[in-house]
Chain A
Amino acid sequence: MTEHHLANSHLGSLEYDPAPESAAIAHLQSSYGLFVDGVFTDASQHEQFVTLNPATEATLATVAQASVADVDRAVAAARRAYDTVWSTTTGAQRSKYLFRIARLIQERARELAVVETLDNGKPIRESRDIDIPLAAAHFFYYAGWADKLDHAGFGASPQPLGVAGQIIPWNFPLLMAAWKLAPALAAGNTCVLKPAETTPLTALILAEIFQQAELPPGVVNIVTGDGSVGAALVDHPDVDKIAFTGSTDVGRLIQQRVASSRKRLTLELGGKGANIVFEDAPIDEMIEGIIDGIFFNQGHVCCAGSRLLVQESVADEVLRRLIRRVEQLRVGDPMDKNTDVGAINSAAQLARIEELTSIGESEGATRYTSSCALPDKGYWFAPTVFADVSQSHRIAREEIFGPVLSVLTFRTPEEAVAKANNTKYGLACGVWSEKGSRALWVAERLRAGVIWANTYNRFDPTSPFGGVRESGFGREGGRHGLEAYLDV
């Protein structure tokens, strides 16, 4: 072979002029209250916290910090709405409201996308093309179920649980709200939703949408604040169900606290997803799939394909192409329509990513980091790939929740399965092979709630999502998603 030593054709040489989406579309208010019993109210202690734009560290708005008394008020409103309106209305009526909400999300999609990107740091392309359309799709999907619960496979006239306390993370703020609220409302429950502290804004716009949709007061209440608000919700005696998406550590605490109570619980927790690449995989699409698997949403994805298991015979070729592709990623202003990778959501998360990557280096893995320029202000981490990772490295075991991929190799399908399953988590895995029988053989043996074949990070409201082992239990999406909110 002739030496390959020149970058003879430069990718991305056509420089794209900035194409920023307008921040003015957000129509942000300077401060937001709690949404309780159909109206926005101040917190009882008048405490507030600030939510930042992680790409610039600029303050976006101040938001009410709920107290225990506020959570109590919200739960009482939800209970009242459950007893007097929502549990007694017909499925067709609930369906009508859910369809309205879905339509209103679509109508305000651009505004929601801009707010999501400002508050979260994710690229506008993703909030515009994925988060917001999927959130609307979840409401549409469950709107269809609301009057058909008798036929959902849970027996004749399955009953709702009552008041659901729902605690959601910062990585997909509106989408996670939709995942939680849509099935709960369709099944006839009322809700108290607690958005993440760093990303409360789209949930509050969703509250405005509930007002527009004339959803009866108290059916959904939104309480903002730090972890103490979530704790108050978890501990509240009049809550019938807790649904939590977030870290495994917090999930474990919640499970301890609801133990011996009558509360139902579903948990969607962390993951360390393995993307398994066989030598016969469709190489170009597989490279894209690996990239999507780990750099989608800056890797702030519980089901991220953060471990790449690649067959030894193609490992060098895959790594070469992968690194080239990583270097091509456009990192920067999340509001630019051409940005592929945006800002890390918070200083705390950035510190966690930096800590684990430096551990990866000291453990002896080879680190490749994109040479992209990073903005001066804000929280940023350049896309990174670790090669020569072994199963015992912490970067192969712990969830980094950032744009960092660990590459390991395997020789046989058995070894791939063994390595993929050698984790405490079990949320998602990917298999890449043109051979259907092999993909199925592997999929059958993987211990994970979601297995993708020749794709990764694809979501659809009709498809159940959830984990096994320390990735949690319960399913969201699809017919299965109703079960979490029905007394079955």
Chain B
Amino acid sequence: MSTAPLRLVTEQDHGVRFPEISRVPAVESETQLRGLLASLSGVDAVGAEARAAKLATRSIKKSTKLAAIDLAISMVDLTTLEGADTPGRVGSLCAKALRPDPRDASVPAVAAVCVYPDLVAHARSVLGGASVAIAAVATAFPSGRASLNVKLLDVREAVAAGADEIDMVIDRGAFLSGRLGQVFDEIVAVKESCGRAHLKVILETGELVTYDNVRRASWLAMLGGADFIKTSTGKVPVAATTPVALVMLEAVRDFAESTGHLVGVKVAGGIRTSKDAIRYLVLVNETVGSSWLTPDRFRFGASSLLNDLLMQRLKQHRGAYVRPDEFSGD
């Protein structure tokens, strides 16, 4: 008779498990860093794209859809990053961030507003001590082409003006030419200059091109102290895609499992519809799970997305669409 163990898969086998005590390995040399990144598994592009496409067919309806819309709203980094930005525009953005739909107090506030460093002080004056965070893109955003000193000054000024979060860009040129130590040191230095502010490291995946690069850059940023890894600046033609987000989510999952340190993911650029946002949430749900289904660990960098979320939310409640003009433009 059967003496072999019959095991139902249990809680122990399920989910993403990470050690209770966080322990990120210290990087002591470029050689060590290179070896660490080289030891990461490759990404099969066809397979990663197929997996992302398959998850995009999940059908999210009714109460799940409503919950997902509210969750997505609470994860938005409401962004304006234009040369033409004005204090007035930022003020209006802050008001919208706090109260996305002025007629409906049940709509959650967004996670943060995201602005250029020179507008941080104004945003702080509008938001005061409100729960909505202020994120500043610093380090010579979006190209990252400046000396380290200039970048660090950029960061320090933004933090001094009241930024809670810093969105930095990595030096893609250095990464692609193999100067990994330089990229790493920069991240470490920026992290130090952030003080208490959270650091989001923008990989600009559209310029990294391959998924292998995305995975390695993700680990590099996490080893350097990133609190979040972020796909894109939104300033180059290729921004966030679902396969790229999948690879980054796999990276934060594996990093959490090996170090106990949980890093967030921010997708940015080109995410305009609720449908897109929900697809990303499905990726999060099925790749990293509950610990990342919170604004503390997942964000959407977007501007027009918020209005679509509000419109779909109202549609779910009322059963019919309202005119786009029902929602404020900024």
Contacts and interface: CB of A to CB of B under 8 A. Distances in A.
* Interface magnitude class on chain B: 35 or more
Chain A interface category by residue count: 35 or more
A18 B288 CA distance: 22
A282 B47 contact: yes
A12 B13 contact: no
A25 B23 CA distance: 55
Nearest to A282: B44
Contacts of B106: none
Interface stretch (A33-41, A104-112, A165-173, A319-327): A319-327
A9 B292 contact: yes
B19 interface: yes
Interface stretch (A70-78, A257-265, A365-373): A365-373
A125 B57 contact: yes
A460 interface: no
A282 B43 CA distance: 5
Interface stretch (A81-89, A356-364, A396-404, A475-483): A356-364
Nearest to A322: B13
A1 B285 CA distance: 27
Given A8-B16, A8-B291, A324-B14, A369 B42 contact: no
A25 to B, nearest CB: 15
Contact of B64 (A3, A14, A125, A455): A14
A3 B8 CA distance: 21
Contacts of B60: 16-17, 19
A363 B1 CA distance: 9
B14 A361 contact: no
DSSP majority for the A interface? Answer: loop
Interface string A268-304: 0000000000001111111011000000000000000
Contact of B19 (A1, A11, A362, A434): A1
B24 to A, nearest CB: 12
B68 interface: yes
B182 to A, nearest CB: 27
A369 B8 contact: yes
A370 B260 contact: no
A366 to B, nearest CB: 6
A129 interface: yes
Interface string A213-256: 00000000000000000000000000000000000000000000
Contacts of B23: 2
B285 A12 contact: yes
B42 A280 contact: yes
Interface of B: 1-21, 23, 41-44, 46-48, 50-51, 57-65, 67-68, 247, 250, 253, 256-257, 260, 281-282, 285-293
Question: Would you list the 8 A-B pairs with minimal beta carbon distance, nearest first?
Answer: A285-B47, A2-B19, A9-B291, A19-B59, A7-B15, A13-B290, A9-B289, A337-B59
Interface of A: 1-19, 125, 129, 280-286, 288-289, 320, 323-324, 326-328, 337-338, 358, 361-371, 434, 454-455
8 contacts: A4-B18, A9-B15, A11-B289, A13-B290, A17-B60, A17-B61, A284-B47, A366-B5
